[in-house]
Amino acid sequence: MTRATDIRDAALELFVRVGYEATTMSDIGAALGMRGPSLYKHVSSKQDLLAGIITATMDDLLAAHRTAVAGTDDSVTLLRRAVDAHVRYHARHRREAFVGNRELRSLVEPHRSAVLARRAEYTRGFEDIITAGVADGAFHVGSARLAAYAILDLGMGVAVFFRKDSATTENEVAWQHTEFALRLVGAR
């Protein structure tokens, strides 16, 4: 691992455990066996660390979504794939998802607007699938936007409860969430 990766991982762990506001650069340095001021040789600020973590999380989610929905135009298949990718990301990247949701409030401009734009794009991906499914008769839901929000919230919850060593496997969680999503949109 590189020094930048080590710093990012130490910051991520502290942001999860004690929160962004309570974490200092000295805390991050101590976690690495470095003096806080030495970190500034590698990163410009705690804010840039947070922005980097949340931006990378959103970029990864967007990439996973694009990959999942490529190659089909069937609404049910699109929603299945999108939900599966969303849930698996949150199961595999629990810390990043947790920080991305909880610490969004701590981002300052221009980082906040950039991340919010990515989040809006990600949400639109789900909303567009649902809207198309309503148009082609595959889904029956009053509000594609509210359905998209509900599906996204269900998936984000996976980051809170899922553990690799739990009795329920990642495959079972992904399958069940996909079934929940299809019921939510009134899929036939």
- Percentage of the chain beyond pLDDT 70 is 99
Task: Mark whether 86 and 130 lie in a shared domain.
Answer: yes
Please check whether residue 87 is in contact with residue 155, taking contact to mean a CB–CB distance below 8 angstroms.
yes
**Domain containing residue 36:** 1-43
* 60 vs 64: CA distance, rounded Å: 6
Task: Mark whether 110 and 178 lie in a shared domain.
Answer: yes
Task: Mark whether 39 and 122 lie in a shared domain.
Answer: no
Task: Mark whether 24 and 73 lie in a shared domain.
Answer: no
CATH of the domain at 13: 1.10.10.60
Rounded to a whole number, what is the distance in angstroms from the first to the last CA of the chain?
A: 48
88: pLDDT strictly greater than 90: yes
* 93 vs 57: CA distance, rounded Å: 9
**Tens of pLDDT along 99-152?**
999 999 999 999 999 999 999 999 999 999 999 999 999 999 999 999 999 999
Task: Mark whether 135 and 49 lie in a shared domain.
Answer: yes
Structural element, H or E, at residue 114: helix 111-135
Task: Mark whether 60 and 152 lie in a shared domain.
Answer: yes
Count Cβ atoms below 10 Å from residue 31 Cβ, excluding itself: 16
**Tens of pLDDT along 140-153?**
999 999 999 999 99
Task: Mark whether 2 and 49 lie in a shared domain.
Answer: no
Task: Mark whether 39 and 51 lie in a shared domain.
Answer: no
Q: Say how many domains are in the chain.
A: 2
**Tens of pLDDT along 20-60?**
999 999 999 999 999 867 888 889 999 999 999 999 999 99
CATH of the domain at 86: 1.10.357.10
User: pTM higher than 0.85, yes or no?
Assistant: yes
Determine the angle formed by the axes of helices 75-92 and 46-69, rounding to 10 degrees. 150
Task: Mark whether 106 and 146 lie in a shared domain.
Answer: yes
Task: Mark whether 32 and 55 lie in a shared domain.
Answer: no
Task: Mark whether 120 and 80 lie in a shared domain.
Answer: yes
Task: Mark whether 66 and 142 lie in a shared domain.
Answer: yes
